[in-house]
Homo-oligomer: A and B are copies of this chain.
Amino acid sequence: MREPEIAVTFEPQGKKVFVLSGTKIIEAAALAGAALNLPCGGQGTCGKCKVRVVDNPCDPTDTERKTLDREELDSGVRLACQSCICASTTIDIPETSLLASSYQVLSAVDGGIVGDVNPAVRKQYVELPKPSRDDPAADLERLYGALGVFTADLALARALPARLRTWDFRGTAVRADHQLIDFEQGNTERQRYCVAFDIGTTSVVGSLLDLESGRECANTSRMNPQTRFGDDVLSRILRAREQDDGAADLREVIVAEVNEMILELLDQAGVPKERVYEAVFAGNTTMQQLLLGLDTAALGEVPFVPVTARGQLLAAAAVGVAIHPRGRVYVFPVIGGFLGGDTVAGILATDLENCPTPTVFVDIGTNGEIVLSYDGQMLAASTAAGPAFEGARITHGMRAVEGAIEKVIFDGDARVNIIGNVSPIGLCGSALIDVAAELRRHGMLMREGLLLAPEHLPADLPEAIRKRVTKTDNGVAFLLASANESGTQAPIVLTQGDVRELQLAAGAVRAGMSILLRRAGLKVEQLGRVLIAGGFGNFIRRSNAQCIGLLPSGLDHHRLAFVGNTSLAGARMAAISQTARACAEQLARRIKRIDLSLDPAFQAEFVNAMTFPSIRPEE
């Protein structure tokens, strides 16, 4: 019943994704974070989404034969909106086929050069005049002459005179803003690195960047070790507030994990710690405050007040981050208690404010953050969407880790794909959406969320699927894996209760989106694009998300773009560019925060959004 996924590598980004056979190329490219041009709306008539399938191209469709010429077809050129993946392959995406703003994100995630490389940390090799009776100026004045005035901490000022004399008044000055971070032997101008981190509630992703080129040298990801103190944000806030040393424990484990990840990054790239001068962090407000050891108590209750809204530039030593001893830490600005640095980083990475048409950015993680950009304005809201999509409150729900069913397709029977190709032990958010969408399409799930009992199922339903529907004490359930197939020796099912949770979660996101659109005086149809961010967002199927009403169904399919881990992408941009950092600060201040619970229309929108969209006209 399990079908292995097919590996597809997209070039020049070098990003590899795994998809089921028959997936459209454009969908696979979206999984890889690349949004392609689709001015004709995926009709295959404009030829703007051309790609070249290097190995094993499928036979061209009739549409492709009309739109592409013989030579193109022979060399493997296909239309991404028409051609499918039929075997493991590599696909070249010409830059002309990429949507500009999505390219930015893609390259930020995958090691390309992003915008300007304009880091805060600068290096300059100097050869200073040596002191003499005619020139007995102070050591620091000598350096000011070459570099301009700066400040230096005592430890460095103490070491400087001996270094200058041992190295014959030559060396490389490392500065950030007006601070001298170090004075190094010889010319080390080209050895200049920083690290960027996305600190998620569930996972932590880190990247080592070369500040000369702006390129990524290494990357790594881990579970957030704070999960041992609680799965979600609120449980950690409670832990920090209620336990002795709770805040210190939470801070210590994340700082230690970050430091281990830095060691791993340095090891991968062969870079010494002393050459890493900055660390940039983006995360939700709680994760950022826990990292800094800031009091999170006020984030745990109405009105969810953060300690600081602006980005924080701090001594790495004070934070405990093990880079250069005089290195610095930059933590992203936040919009509010539930609109954190990860959202700001995402807006920065997608260049949301400059989108030419009204655009919604939605990050479906533990919470669902939604930002609407239109007419030079931005509205943002946070919804409590997350727990269901991350497995909480779902009978066999789990996070997208090994053993999770992460994809479900009804094809005569229910085909499932499991992360790590092991026996399944539960289902994660994307599978939850898949199965609900397939149940809807097959007439097994009503608009109001009722799972039909076996006796009410449509007559034309394949028998294999029909057999999966059972009645239990808690209502109807749908079998995804039998006790024999399951890694837990117990059946894995979707229950009526699970569907309710899904309705609540999807409804919250959709209602939030509706409120923002209403505030802006816009209709869904006027949206140029919907950008879906987050590790989770990478793996959900757009059509299914629309089918269950998580994403608006009034939109052309191609206007929905997956933009990947934009929190990390934004952190990386801020790491290599002061301009990006200044832009993040401005964004965080400019965005108008909407408290959905204060909007009188929210409850009605929410109830409305909990009803699944109709599939057939008569529904």
Contacts and interface: CB of A to CB of B under 8 A. Distances in A.
Contacts of A132: 303
A293 B161 contact: no
Interface in A313-338: 314, 318-319, 334, 336-337
Interface string A285-314: 000000011110110001111111110101
A161 B303 contact: no
A162 B319 CA distance: 20
Contacts of A307: 138-140, 157, 160-161
Contacts of A306: 138-139
A252 to B, nearest CB: 14
B309 A162 contact: no
A133 interface: yes
Given A132-B303, A136-B337, A303-B132, A154 B319 contact: yes
B154 A298 contact: no
Contacts of A310: 138, 140-141
A604 interface: no
A467 interface: no
Contacts of A158: 292-295
Contacts of A136: 303-305, 336-337, 595
Contacts of A133: 302-303, 595, 597-598
A334 B318 CA distance: 31
B595 A154 contact: no
B157 A294 contact: yes
B154 A305 contact: no
B334 A154 contact: no
A326 to B, nearest CB: 12
Interface string A591-602: 000010110000
A258 to B, nearest CB: 16
Nearest to A133: B303
A382 to B, nearest CB: 12
A55 interface: no
A154 B295 CA distance: 11
Contacts of A319: 154
Nearest to A161: B295
A475 interface: no
Most chain B CB neighbours (cut-off 10 Å) among A132, A294, A304: A294
Given A131-B305, A136-B305, 4 more contacts: A133-B595, A138-B306, A138-B310, A139-B308
10 contacts: A132-B303, A135-B303, A138-B308, A140-B308, A153-B318, A154-B314, A157-B307, A157-B308, A161-B298, A162-B295
Report the 8 A-B pairs with minimum CB-CB distance, sorted nearest first: A136-B303, A138-B309, A161-B295, A138-B306, A140-B308, A131-B305, A133-B303, A154-B318
